[in-house]
Amino acid sequence: MTSDNTKPWLRAEIAQWLREGIISDEQAQRLLERYPSTPEPVEYGGGKGVFASLGVLVFGMGVMLLFAYNWAEMHRYAKLGSIFFGVALSHGLAALIKDPRVSSSLHLLGTMLFGAGIWLIAQVYHFSAHYPDGFLLWAMAALLMAWVLPSLSQCLLGCALLTLWSAVEVLEFNVLHFWALAVLLLLQLPWAYWQRSPLALTVVLMLLALALLVNSWHLQEGAALLHACLLAAMYLCAEHFSPRMSWSGCGSVFRRVGLPLWLALMLIFSFADAANIVVQLDGQTGAAAPLTWSMLFVLGAAWLWVLLDKSLRPRSPIQIAECALLLLPLLVLAAISGGVHKVGMIMTAANLSVLAYGVLFIVRGTSSLDRRQLVLGCGLIVLLVGLRFTDLFESLLARAGVFLLLGVLLFLAGLRYSRQKQRRLQEQRHV
């Protein structure tokens, strides 16, 4: 698992087992060979490129607003000529300049000016037709450039515009609109993989979730939460396939997007109101039912593959526990969609999931001396207790008990972390 950053911990443990005579030198060597690679660090691109692209985006927006002033004294041909000249000049200069960063920024400027041109033409000719089409045209131009160059900034611009197009169609024109979702899934997800770009993959996965949320909300009120939950579970499942992929680093990106989404949704489902919305969805005949069952089917097949394939199957207790944490709420949601109308089931599964993730992060954090995981785990449990303070424990005695337990848990977590750290220091001195 790319996310199981256990190598430093494993080395320390193996050294300890050797000293205690639990394993031989040969066994220690075999164990170290068993986990040869550390996860690929996620690189989100150079700062210079990001700032150059941001500069170009802001500049392009400035040009749009400049034309939005709608200079009455300026003839329409002068306005149109300046935008045509701007687009041609930007792309022309970009083709001539050798520096790839500057060239890419100029191409991005050209695409921004193309977008400005669409709105300028609409303004000049008082064109009030279906305006989201402007976003679509602009997005297609950016995505085409993204594939041809290839360019990360053009890809991000295109994906953002595509999602905006879909959102406007759904929210303002009340039209169910899965096109953006399809393009993101079938064109831009492969692009991000092809380019080995964690940033592009992160953005595409986030926008996929956003586009799905908006459409699901329109499809059937309340379905958005359920579908977002299933999508997050898909991302977390996709992480398990990364060892089989040529770009194993993509697994950590799937996790970075999927896990926060999953935890946020579990926290939401721990409330009765949110759980009730899902329970009231008609899983069999509701408008969202086909999509729900399609997602459940894909998810079920993917998890089955992970569990049956020896090379993908979770091995360590922590990995197995994490799979169980995912599968429990999913089984509950599947049962709810199948007609079991129990609000309590969802709430219990969600609460247990958050609690268990908190404990899991603490265990991982203290074992591998990862302070971030420890803080995350403690924070999750404190947040959960805080949320349940008003709606679960009515008795002051129960509240006091829970807080005492929480205090003890946090104390033990700190103690374990501190002991692990001392032990590691001692080992380093011996080595």
Partner 1 sequence: MSRLRAILLLLAIAAQLGTLAYMVADKEAIIRHGHTVYLRTLPLDPRDPMRGDYVRLAYSLNQLYPSRLPGLQGLVPARRGEVVYALLRPVGDGVYELDGIADRAPESGVFLRGRVQAEAVAGEALRVNYGIEQLFVEQGQGIDIEQRQRGEAGFRRSMEVALAVDEQGRAIVTGYRWAPLAISVSPAPEIDGAAATPRLLVQLKNLADYPLAVVDNAEHCGVVLTVVNRLASSAAAPCGRYLVSREDIIELAPGAVHRFTIDLAHRRWFVDGGDGLQDVREFAPVSSLRLVYRSPAALQEASAEINLWRGELHSAPFSLRGFE
* 129 or 431: CB nearest partner 1: 129
Q: Which one of 141-149, 157-165, 247-255, 312-320 is the stretch in contact with partner 1 (CB under 8 A)?
A: 141-149
Q: Which ranges constitute the DSSP H helices of 125-222?
A: 132-148, 152-173, 179-183, 189-194, 198-219
What track of x and - describes contact with partner 1 for positions 21 through 60 (by CB under 8 A)? ----------------------------------------
Helices 198-219 & 223-239, crossing angle to 10 degrees?
A: 150
Residue choice 32, 54, 78, 88 for contact with partner 1 (CB under 8 A): 88
Amino acid, res. 218: H
Amino acid, res. 395: S
What track of x and - describes contact with partner 1 for positions 105 through 124 (by CB under 8 A)? -----xx--x--xxxxxxxx
Residue with tokens 């993989």: 193
Shortest approach of partner 1 to residue 56 CB, angstroms? 15
Phi first, then psi: give them for residue 23, nearest 5 degrees.
-130, 160
Residue 195 lies near partner 1 (rule: CB under 8 A):
no
Residue 194 lies near partner 1 (rule: CB under 8 A):
no
* 72 or 397: CB nearest partner 1: 72
Q: CB 65: neighbour CB atoms within 10 A?
A: 10
In Å, how far from its chain's centre is CA 107?
28
Q: Which one of 81-89, 201-209, 304-312, 314-322 is the stretch in contact with partner 1 (CB under 8 A)?
A: 81-89
Q: Which residues make Cβ contacts (< 8 Å) with residue 65, sequence separation at least 6?
A: none
Residue among 185, 193, 195, 198 at smallest CA distance from 39: 198
Residue choice 25, 34, 126, 395 for contact with partner 1 (CB under 8 A): 126
Residue 145 lies near partner 1 (rule: CB under 8 A):
yes
Residue 102 lies near partner 1 (rule: CB under 8 A):
no
Residue 171 lies near partner 1 (rule: CB under 8 A):
no
Residue among 36, 42, 44 at smallest CA distance from 243: 36
Torsion over CA of 291, 293, 299 and 302, rounded to 10 degrees?
Answer: -110
Determine if residue 4 is left, alpha or beta; phi over 0 gives left, psi from -120 to 50 gives alpha, anything else beta.
beta
Shortest approach of partner 1 to residue 159 CB, angstroms? 17
Indicate if the alpha-carbon torsion angle 329, 334, 337, 339 is positive or negative: negative
Residue 349 lies near partner 1 (rule: CB under 8 A):
no
Residue 16 lies near partner 1 (rule: CB under 8 A):
no
Shortest approach of partner 1 to residue 164 CB, angstroms? 11
What track of x and - describes contact with partner 1 for positions 60 through 79 (by CB under 8 A)? ----x--xxxxxx-------
Q: Where along the sequence are the contacts to partner 1 (CB under 8 A)?
A: 64, 67-72, 80, 83-84, 87-88, 91, 95, 110-111, 114, 117-129, 134, 137, 141, 144-145, 148-149
